[in-house]
A = this chain, B = another copy of it.
Amino acid sequence: MSEQKVRNMEEFAALVGVSRPTVSKYFNDPSSVREKTRKRIEVALEQHDYRPNIYAINQNRRQTKTIGLVVPNLTDPFFAAIARIIEGMILEAGFNPLLLSSHAGPDQEISNLDSLRAIKPAGVLLAPLGRASKVDAIAEFAEQIPTTLFDANLDGVGEAFFGSDNDQSVALIVEYLCRSGEPPSFFELEDPVNPNAIKRRNAYKAAMERVGREPLFVRVEGSGWDFEEIGFSRGRELISRKQLPTSTVLCSNDRLAIGLLAAAFDQGISVGIGEDCSMRIAGHDDHPFARYTCPSLTTISQDYVAIGQHSVDTILGIIERGERLDQRIVSLFEGRLVMRGSA
């Protein structure tokens, strides 16, 4: 590696022995220059480790090579896992992912979009907070920058939405629970912020009615994203006061279920499908930790590889074609029943 420092593309081009525009072409698309030239540039590149100034590049380009990825809460391992998968897909497509977390706050969500606006990304994949989101501001953002939603839908916002088919997945687990024992009650927040929660509530009701059972809701107070804590503290109260209507409980998501499992343990209730168990608990999402709860959690696994891939492909398509979709796409993917020890 040469000691000489290359200050800009002009200097680097001189070292290579070609003109600056040729070097510029190379960096935009190495295959757009002649084989021989490419080799020469690449040799020089190794000797001087020059890299174009990213700010100067993006100042003039209409579009950057960045794709924004905004998730509601990175502290939630579920979203951390999805984010990681999608990051990989973006990289594979030759773009740079920029991951931002809204930290469960609508203001932070808007602030993230503002940051992205400043960066002029080619596109954005957004998993919105849901009902807490400032929809108008997000819609305005999506007008400016190609945006697709995933996980949670906001009606009419963005080019597309990819998520889970809660009707299908909840029906799946409700039917399983009914088939294998007592029909479940539904454990959820009284006033959920997440649209999925509302869809699951309705899906549960419909599924129960379909099998001729009366839907029973256990609605607990609690706000925010501290689901484990809510599941634990409210669950403990309910169990100790024997206020649970059934001994089989389907939770609106895995994190609530993890809290409820802890509450049951705390109250000396053994959970599971064995003869000696007095309670069954199921969740939804296949949280990364669902495998290691005690007992391991029966749940629904979302197809987030499909969700991620469709989100990425859609945004890439829009970027390539340079024009928006004629019609907003909404596509839902089926969940898979993951049978474990808890139900």
* A residues neighboring B (CB under 8 Å): 51, 53-59, 74-75, 77, 80-81, 83-84, 96, 99, 101, 103, 115, 117-120, 228-229, 232, 258-259, 261-262, 265, 288-289, 291-296
Contact = CB atoms under 8 A, between A and B. Distances in A.
Chain A interface main SS type: helix
A292 B262 contact: yes
Contact of A99 (B99, B118, B258, B259): B99
Closest 7 A/B residue pairs (Cβ): A265-B294, A294-B294, A55-B59, A262-B292, A55-B58, A55-B55, A54-B118
A198 to B, nearest CB: 25
Given A258-B292, A265-B294, 19 more contacts: A51-B117, A51-B118, A53-B59, A55-B58, A56-B59, A74-B80, A74-B83, A74-B84, A75-B84, A77-B77, A84-B103, A96-B115, A228-B291, A232-B291, A261-B292, A261-B294, A262-B291, A262-B294, A289-B289
Which of A75, A120, A292 is the most central at the interface, judged by chain B CB atoms within 10 Å of its CB?
A292
Q: Count identical subunits in the complex.
A: 2
14 contacts: A51-B117, A54-B119, A55-B120, A74-B84, A75-B81, A77-B80, A99-B101, A232-B292, A258-B292, A259-B292, A262-B293, A262-B294, A265-B295, A293-B294
